[in-house]
Chain A
């Protein structure tokens, strides 16, 4: 008995450091990213409402409201999503259709209701602000594992939880960032905080997520996301509500016909 326990612990002691040594910080980071990504897999489809509060350095506020519908891509396909703008009122009825891909630029179309016209979005605008906010287009889109390389840094306490802290480097040359530092909790792989470093390598923005709820007994979503720009003093809060899964969306809800009647 004692002997077997001893051999077991010996074997464990021998095996564990060997295992840790075999995995580089880069591999560890990738593994964490994959696990986090896999935890979001299988959602099928979801819809949510978003309220965006833009806050200037002086504290003035402006609001935007929009709705998002997303259909999960099957197999290797990327997700499809429809974003419908409700306010400010001059853009009401404007809708954006996005086909995202894992390894190439997304296809995007914008429906302009006044002209009844669908326009292809040509700009490779990744770093530009989304609706004048502190969130850029690349912050708003899906964070596919393939679009970054990773490096695990350390474990660190984050609130009552313990977090993995890792660095993430965009592979896209048009990204507005050189690196991001990400805090994910070890229990559920939720992203609590991200530091964004600009192309010169200085700290640009910090994102903090809070008020997580679990849906379908599986998917964790934050009710609030706050982005602070350290260089301009401006900030944007996103308030998510009305999260709904399994709403019966299908491919038919993500084509040019449905874009034109999205409202």
Chain B
């Protein structure tokens, strides 16, 4: 043990001295679910989880070459699907005169709004990791970036598709049916299809920022199709309307090939930040459009204190057929952020997303503060109110057979309200 530690430090020490940097974070998470699960397999009210994310950096050639390696691993007490690992980043960036090449596994974010990241499409969502969809899987890419006076152009070649992660049967929150590992692809190359993307962005000194992007490839959003029944089971379902005992119903993810054009616009004036994101996508049913637009405004030094109060108001809209619609098809987001500007960097963020059609509400509350120099604690709560109960597996299949597709809304995640505490240590 001591010997191996010594060997390890002998190996690591010269690396550090040669411009290698090693750091990372480790976190513990505890969740308490305030309601009984609608699923017998996920019948628990507390869950513990932990993750480790080391980061290794190296730079050479006077910082014109940068190497990054960020593996990631999580263990979860109840959900074997949430116990997973990934390479978030393993990349080499080379900086040239007016250009950059970035090769390897990376994460790229596009977008300006807070409610729904419509334009952001390069990376697959690590859905099982975080329900807010902000965690992403590492994407293999060759990215060439050109910097000119008239803007920045990014070209992406994306070999290797990543399937979305989903909670397992024992997961909370989870999908009404477990999601099969055997995905269906429109492309005959399946997950081996090479996708392409391009983005142009420009900033103007009058406060306007804009970006135009186009993606051509396998959709990151799968359609979930109830499948995996034998013909006998299907017969029985058609005759009785109920899945026979012993059947093993599943969702099969279907990944279509799509073309998506995206627009990002931002306008800053007198402290008001106006934002708009819009997409047009073809290849998944009929061509559809979706928008997210609104503003952000910060009241500085509330009541003479050091506290800032930020406001976010956005409207999210989509003109897609109900059967394929996202739960965010006609929703309003109202968010407030208290930034205390204190030594501990205390913050409180509260948000509500209100579905103007289904009248469902998703309420989230997040607060964080630092302890000392290396420790950060967050407290988070998510509540879904006025959400219908999820459809039973039999009902899901009946609807699928009749080709009736109702907007699932928040149904699939109803009765999974939770409160979460997380402690992150940075090393």
Q: At the interface with chain B, which of A10-18, A156-164, A218-226, A252-260?
A: A252-260
Which of A54, A92, A129 has the most chain B CB atoms closer than 10 A to its own CB?
A129
> Does chain A have a CB within 8 A of B190?
no
> Does chain A have a CB within 8 A of B85?
no
Which residue on A lies nearest to B93, using beta carbons? A261
Q: How far is the CA of A114 from the CA of B424 in the complex (A)?
A: 13
> Does chain A have a CB within 8 A of B296?
yes
> Does chain A have a CB within 8 A of B298?
yes
Tell me which residues across on chain B come within 8 A of A103, comparing CB atoms: none
> Of B109, B147, B266, B342, which contacts A257 at CB under 8 A?
B147
Contact B298 A123, beta carbon cutoff 8 Å: yes
Which of B57, B98, B342, B370 has the most chain A CB atoms closer than 10 A to its own CB?
B370
Given A87-B373, A120-B209, A128-B300, the answer on whether A54 and B343 have CB atoms closer than 8 Å is yes
Which residue on B lies nearest to A255, using beta carbons? B147
> Does chain A have a CB within 8 A of B228?
no
Q: How far is the CA of A71 from the CA of B145 in the complex (A)?
A: 23
Given A122-B272, A123-B271, the answer on whether A90 and B426 have CB atoms closer than 8 Å is yes
Contact B301 A128, beta carbon cutoff 8 Å: yes
Q: Which of B396-425 contact A (CB under 8 A)?
A: 424
> Does chain A have a CB within 8 A of B270?
yes
Contact A88 B373, beta carbon cutoff 8 Å: yes
Q: Which of B365-419 contact A (CB under 8 A)?
A: 370, 373-374, 376
Contact B341 A120, beta carbon cutoff 8 Å: no
Tell me which residues across on chain B come within 8 A of A90, comparing CB atoms: 345, 370, 374, 376, 424, 426
Q: Which of B56-115 contact A (CB under 8 A)?
A: 57, 59, 66, 93, 95, 97-98, 100, 107-109, 111-112
Q: Which of B192-208 contact A (CB under 8 A)?
A: 201, 203, 205, 207
Contact B109 A117, beta carbon cutoff 8 Å: yes
User: From residue B170, how far is it (CB to closest CB) to chain A in Å?
Assistant: 28
Contact B306 A128, beta carbon cutoff 8 Å: yes
Contact B23 A124, beta carbon cutoff 8 Å: no
Q: How far is the CA of A87 from the CA of B427 in the complex (A)?
A: 11
Q: How far is the CA of A91 from the CA of B109 in the complex (A)?
A: 19
> Of B66, B297, B426, which contacts A122 at CB under 8 A?
B297
Q: What are the interface flags for A243-259 relative to B under an 8 Å C-beta threshold, 1 for contact and 0 otherwise? A: 00000000010011100
> Of B98, B111, B343, which contacts A252 at CB under 8 A?
B98
Contact B300 A127, beta carbon cutoff 8 Å: yes
Q: How far is the CA of A90 from the CA of B24 in the complex (A)?
A: 10
Contact B343 A89, beta carbon cutoff 8 Å: no
Q: How far is the CA of A148 from the CA of B387 in the complex (A)?
A: 56
Q: How far is the CA of A174 from the CA of B145 in the complex (A)?
A: 38
Q: How far is the CA of A166 from the CA of B272 in the complex (A)?
A: 35
Contact A255 B341, beta carbon cutoff 8 Å: no
Q: How far is the CA of A261 from the CA of B307 in the complex (A)?
A: 30
> Does chain A have a CB within 8 A of B48?
no
> Does chain A have a CB within 8 A of B350?
no
Q: How far is the CA of A117 from the CA of B119 in the complex (A)?
A: 13
Q: How far is the CA of A123 from the CA of B109 in the complex (A)?
A: 22
Q: Which of B282-324 contact A (CB under 8 A)?
A: 296-298, 300-301, 306, 308, 310
Which residue on A lies nearest to B297, using beta carbons? A122
Contact A132 B298, beta carbon cutoff 8 Å: no
Which residue on A lies nearest to B207, using beta carbons? A107
Given A120-B209, A124-B270, the answer on whether A92 and B426 have CB atoms closer than 8 Å is yes
Which of A56, A123, A252 has the most chain B CB atoms closer than 10 A to its own CB?
A123
> Does chain A have a CB within 8 A of B229?
no
Q: How far is the CA of A50 from the CA of B427 in the complex (A)?
A: 21
> Does chain B have a CB within 8 A of A37?
no
B-side interface residues, number (CB < 8 Å): 49
User: From residue B372, how far is it (CB to closest CB) to chain A in Å?
Assistant: 8
Q: How far is the CA of A174 from the CA of B343 in the complex (A)?
A: 23
Q: How far is the CA of A129 from the CA of B201 in the complex (A)?
A: 32
Contact B271 A124, beta carbon cutoff 8 Å: yes
Task: Give the interface SS of chain A, mostly helix, strand, loop or mixed.
Answer: loop
Q: What are the interface flags for A124-156 relative to B under an 8 Å C-beta threshold, 1 for contact and 0 otherwise? A: 111111001000000000000000000000000
User: From residue B241, how far is it (CB to closest CB) to chain A in Å?
Assistant: 46
Contact B268 A122, beta carbon cutoff 8 Å: yes
> Of A117, A126, A252, which contacts B147 at CB under 8 A?
A252
Given A90-B424, A125-B300, A128-B308, the answer on whether A261 and B66 have CB atoms closer than 8 Å is yes
> Does chain A have a CB within 8 A of B186?
no
> Of A91, A107, A126, A256, which contacts B201 at CB under 8 A?
A256
Which residue on A lies nearest to B120, using beta carbons? A117
Contact A116 B345, beta carbon cutoff 8 Å: no
Q: What are the interface flags for A47-91 relative to B under an 8 Å C-beta threshold, 1 for contact and 0 otherwise? A: 000000010100000110000000000000000000000011111
User: From residue B239, how far is it (CB to closest CB) to chain A in Å?
Assistant: 51
Contact B147 A92, beta carbon cutoff 8 Å: no
> Does chain B have a CB within 8 A of A6?
no
Which of B203, B205, B343, B424 has the most chain A CB atoms closer than 10 A to its own CB?
B343
Contact A115 B301, beta carbon cutoff 8 Å: no
> Does chain B have a CB within 8 A of A263?
yes
Which residue on A lies nearest to B154, using beta carbons? A257
Q: How far is the CA of A88 from the CA of B273 in the complex (A)?
A: 28
Tell me which residues across on chain B come within 8 A of A99, comparing CB atoms: 205
Q: How far is the CA of A99 from the CA of B374 in the complex (A)?
A: 31
Q: How far is the CA of A56 from the CA of B343 in the complex (A)?
A: 9
Q: How far is the CA of A174 from the CA of B112 in the complex (A)?
A: 26
Tell me which residues across on chain A come within 8 A of B308, comparing CB atoms: 123, 125, 128
Q: How far is the CA of A62 from the CA of B371 in the complex (A)?
A: 10
> Does chain A have a CB within 8 A of B181?
no
Tell me which residues across on chain A come within 8 A of B373, comparing CB atoms: 62-63, 87-89
Interface residues of A, Cβ cutoff 8 Å to B? 54, 56, 62-63, 87-92, 99, 107, 115-117, 120, 122-129, 132, 174, 176, 252, 255-257, 261, 263
Query: Which 10 A-B residue pairs are closest in the complex by CB-CB distance?
Result: A89-B426, A122-B273, A123-B298, A124-B271, A90-B376, A117-B109, A116-B109, A132-B343, A129-B341, A116-B107
What are 6 inter-chain pairs, A to B, with CB distance below 8 A?
Answer: A90-B370, A117-B111, A124-B270, A176-B301, A257-B145, A261-B66
Known contacts A88-B370, A261-B95; 16 additional CB pairs below 8 A are A54-B343, A90-B370, A90-B374, A90-B376, A115-B134, A116-B109, A120-B112, A120-B209, A122-B297, A128-B341, A132-B345, A176-B301, A255-B147, A256-B152, A257-B145, A257-B147
